[in-house]
Structure 1
């Protein structure tokens, strides 16, 4: 892989991590007056970790069972636009958003609550 091939991937990952970070800030900010600093950051972290874990698990399942799903769909004559590559990309996006969200929740917890 050349440097030219890596740059769009890096930008894409950075964009989705940034989206997750923004979501983490928004959720923690909305919960701050309701649950206090510790509750807001803990809840935001839990939601981000849930999204991250779901993305990892489903991405792994897509990698492992993607060919089987394609074969079943072809056998049944399905008309959907599902593809192994599209599913892997979608779940990778969920993983990167969850990673950004979780990282922001950790940073917010350190800033607002302390170590």
Structure 2
């Protein structure tokens, strides 16, 4: 038998992008009465891109330094349950949520503010 492919399926990615889109709508909608359409969508976009950038940067760190972290944990005798694969999945989720959030903020900005 072959090992199961650990990469996320298209449905999994779509689910996390959808959750990020929902967050983008909620944040922009919550800010709209106080800040107006332009500032609400700009702020929502900034938060989405911040989450996206953090996810990409930390995912890269988990890929690059995952074996080193595992070696340090085994050397120190730590039993935190941290694994390279778990860290990659967690930061990939942050990346996809941030992408959905930022994309929705862009769409809302075009829709409500214009080009």
Aligned to 2:40: 40
**TM-score under structure 1 length normalisation:** 0.93
1:1-80 alignment runs, 5 A limit = 9-80=9-80
> Which secondary structure does the structure 2 equivalent of 1:45 belong to?
helix
Q: Would you identify which runs of 4 or more consecutive aligned residues in structure 1 move more than 2 Å?
A: none
Q: Any idea what the Cα deviations from partners look like across 1:41-81, whole Å, max 9, x if unmatched?
A: 00000000000000000000000000000000000000110
SS in 1 for 2:9: helix
Distance of 1:45 and 1:103 partners within structure 2? 8
Deviation at residue 87 of structure 1 after TM alignment: 0.3
Give distance in 2, aligned partners of 1:29 and 1:79: 43
- Correspondence 1:94-113 to 2 at 5 A: 94-113=94-113
Structure-2-length-normalised TM-score: 0.93
**Structure 2, gaps ≥5 residues long:** none
Q: Which has the higher helix share?
A: 1
Q: Which runs of 5+ in 1 are unaligned?
A: none
Question: What secondary structure does 1:79 align onto?
Answer: coil
- Number of residue pairs the alignment of both structures matches: 109
RMSD: 0.9
